[in-house]
């Protein structure tokens, strides 16, 4: 179905529903959204029923995520606060270079900073700042799908690791020091 003309080349546009990766969260996909694509040059645009609703749903899902936040999620929440890394880093007890490493997945965010970032966003939204459940120790991002149902955006996990409870820690005993090594150390002293 041809509706309008392409802004780039003037060619006809066709509208259909597609699954489109969402740039704001690289591990998220917009499911079944209306896409207008130029038949001539391939240029396309997404028709959003409500960008505010999408951001609201993504924020809700990230604030309730049981595992630790990863880079793109930290960037997304920072952008909601309207702060740059120089302003946010000291509020999280870090310096801007550390925040940059978190946002680029070079270093995992520590639990205190993760919880503090979520608390700032919750506070800005007028919600209680403490989470209903303590997070687990998973760092793997979810793969999320966002779709419109009954005129509202809803999120669902479409892949990735979904934490199911507190992290299990395996304690490995230190191997005993051999008798020969003890004797060798004694001779050296």
For residue 76, give the H/E element and its range. helix 71-81
Q: How many C-beta neighbours within 10 Å does residue 11 have?
A: 16
CATH number of 50-189: 1.10.260.40
| pLDDT bucket at 184, cuts 50 / 70 / 90 | very low
C-alpha neighbours within 13 Å on the C-beta side of residue 40: 11
Mean pLDDT (the chain) is 80
SS3 content of the chain, % helix, strand, coil (to 5): 35, 25, 40
In the chain, domain spans: 1-47, 50-189
Nearest Cα to Cα of residue 6 among 34, 49, 41: 41
Kindly report, residue by residue over 108-156, the tens digit of the pLDDT.
Answer: 999 889 999 999 999 999 988 877 666 666 555 667 788 888 888 888 8
Round to whole Å and give the CA distance between 16 and 11. Answer: 16
> Do the Cβ atoms of 56 and 154 come closer than 8 Å?
no
Looking at residue 116, what is its pLDDT?
Answer: 93
pTM, entire model? 0.72
> Do the Cβ atoms of 46 and 33 come closer than 8 Å?
yes
Report residue 50 as tokens: 């409500």
Kindly give the pairing relationship between strand 142-149 and strand 28-38. parallel
Kindly report, residue by residue over 23-70, the tens digit of the pLDDT.
Answer: 888 889 999 999 999 999 989 888 877 889 999 999 999 998 888 899
């Amino acid at each position: 179905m041809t509706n309008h003309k392409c802004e780039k080349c003037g060619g006809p546009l066709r509208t259909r529903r597609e699954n489109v990766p969402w740039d704001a969260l690289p591990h998220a996909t917009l499911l079944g959204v209306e896409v207008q694509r130029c038949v001539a040059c391939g240029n396309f645009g997404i028709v959003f029923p409500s960008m505010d609703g999408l951001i609201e749903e993504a924020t809700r899902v990230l604030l309730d995520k049981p595992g630790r936040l990863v880079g793109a999620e930290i960037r997304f929440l920072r952008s909601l606060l309207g702060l740059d890394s120089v302003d946010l880093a000291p509020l999280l007890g870090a310096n801007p270079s550390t925040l940059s490493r978190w946002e680029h997945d070079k270093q995992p965010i520590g639990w205190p900073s993760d919880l503090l970032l979520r608390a700032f966003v919750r506070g800005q939204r007028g919600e209680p700042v403490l989470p209903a459940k303590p997070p687990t120790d998973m760092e793997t991002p979810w793969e999320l799908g966002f779709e419109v149902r009954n005129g509202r955006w809803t999120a669902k996990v479409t892949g990735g690791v979904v934490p199911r409870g507190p992290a299990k820690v395996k304690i490995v005993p230190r191997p005993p020091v051999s008798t020969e090594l003890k004797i060798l150390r004694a001779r050296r002293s």
